[in-house]
Amino acid sequence: MTKVKICGLMEAEHVQAAVGAGADAVGFVFAPSRRRVDPAWASELAKLVPEGVLKVGVFVNAPEEEIFTVHRNVPLDLIQYHGDESPETIRRIGLPAIKAFSVRTEEDVKRASDYDVDYWLFDAPGTDYRGGSGRVFDWTLLEKAGIPRERTIIAGGLHPGNAADAVAQVRPFALDVSSGVETESRKDPALIRSFIAQVRERREA
């Protein structure tokens, strides 16, 4: 049963749309991005997220103190490290973790085994920022690298039109989407519902 994370939420209406449509996790970006949210606002948005839906904070090479400060103020369940954070840094911080990897080659995928984290997230290389590029990577590289699917999250260029294919081909733990559920750079409730419906249909097939 593939789960869904809707990332880069900035508005109350969109958090409600995601949880109302059955998202398993929501993401708030604290890294440089047009989707960046202020921690004080994220803590308000977090109040709209019911028990059982995970709240994920996305960081890119943030100082450890910044991560701890945000974590004290926003009730995050998982920290998503979307930069060049080392295994030692993530271990020292000691919070439940997702480590993201930009995938160009099989070697990029294999780097995941250096990280003892809760989930490995595989994404396409970024353009303006480290994530949220809307680009797809070659999913067959995961199979070639022999990565365990039950700890794998797929991201990068997912949208309602390819979500079911990603589930069928990769059978990951979860899909993570940001730009693929936006219209004119804002989250689109109809696309969020459609994305989750595609994954649901596939996982119930």
Q: Which residues are catalytic, by number?
A: 7, 123
> Which of residues 176 and 202 has its CB atom nearest to ligand LGQLAAA5 in the complex?
176
Residue nearest to ligand LGQLAAA5 as judged by C-beta position: 131
Q: Answer for the pair 190, 182: CB distance below 8 angstroms, yes or no.
A: no
Find the part of the chain contacting ligand LGQLAAA5 (CB under 6 A) among 41-49, 61-69, 88-96, 124-132. Answer: 124-132
CA 197 to chain centre: 18
Strand bridging mode 78-81 / 54-59: parallel
10 binds ligand LGQLAAA5 (CB under 6 A): no
Q: How much of the chain is helix, strand and coil, in % rounded to 5?
A: 40, 20, 40
Nearer to ligand LGQLAAA5, 25 or 145 (CB): 25
Choices 23-31, 42-50, 61-69, 188-196; region in contact with ligand LGQLAAA5 by CB under 6 A: 23-31
Among 62, 155, 191, 199, binds ligand LGQLAAA5 (CB under 6 A): 155
The candidate with the shortest Cα–Cα distance to 98, out of 73, 75, 74, 115, is: 115
Answer yes or no: are the C-beta atoms of 205 and 8 closer than 8 Å. no
CB of residue 180 to ligand LGQLAAA5, shortest distance in Å: 5
